[in-house]
Amino acid sequence: MTKAIYPGSFDPVTFGHLDIIERASKVVDHLIVGVLNNSAKHPLFSVEERVVMLQEVTSHLPNVEIQSFGGLLVDFAKQCDASVIVRGLRAITDFEYELQMSQTNRKIAPDIDTIFLTTNLKYAYLSSSIVKEVAMYDGAIDEFVPAAMIPYIREKMKEKVKKY
């Protein structure tokens, strides 16, 4: 059985991430979406919120599981008994960083390989930061994130505005 990890911050999950999750779930037996718990990144959503949001948008995929993790990705992969890491490549600008990460991970854990899926062209421009930027100014985000995510994002933006 091939178990893979698709790691990321998912702050918040976008159509681009969901596209990679759906496609990766077809090529491996079991896919664990690993939500990075990294306070250094100052995420908009807590790791618990990101896990719930991902669970909601992947509920139609029976072989997909959502888990949070901290520390090294390869340690998390070993802990989950996963031998593959999945990453999406949007553009050539992603490549250098992804190459460096995958080579570092292989150096530390030679038994774990990274596979890359090229992002659907429709979502090649998309990032979580773009979603947050547009949402902050109350712009339409329905082209960027699944409909179920919109109330979460709107609510969070309201909380943020109240704070300042």
Among positions 28, 47, 54, 90, the unique one binding ligand COA when judged by CB under 6 A: 90
Catalytic residue (choose from 9, 17, 25, 50): 17
> Stretches 46-54, 59-67, 101-109, 145-153: which one binds ligand COA (CB under 6 A)?
101-109
Show contacts with ligand COA in window 38-57 (CB under 6 A).
none
> Stretches 15-23, 48-56, 60-68, 153-161: which one binds ligand COA (CB under 6 A)?
15-23
Nearest residue relative to ligand COA (C-beta): 16
Does the protein bind ligand COA through residue 36 (CB under 6 A)?
yes
Does the protein bind ligand COA through residue 8 (CB under 6 A)?
yes
Does the protein bind ligand COA through residue 73 (CB under 6 A)?
yes
What HEC string does the chain produce? Answer: CCEEEEEECCCCCCHHHHHHHHHHHHHCCEEEEEEECCHHHCCCCCHHHHHHHHHHHCCCCCCEEEEEECCCHHHHHHHHCCCEEEEEECCHHHHHHHHHHHHHHHHHCCCCEEEEEECCHHHCCCCHHHHHHHHHCCCCCCCCCCHHHHHHHHHHHHHHHHHC
Does the protein bind ligand COA through residue 104 (CB under 6 A)?
yes
Q: Is 14 left (phi over 0), alpha (psi -120 to 50) or beta?
A: beta
Q: Is 160 a catalytic residue?
A: no
Q: Which residues bind ligand COA (CB under 6 A)?
A: 7-9, 11, 14, 16-17, 20, 36, 72-73, 88, 90, 101, 104-105, 119, 123, 126-129
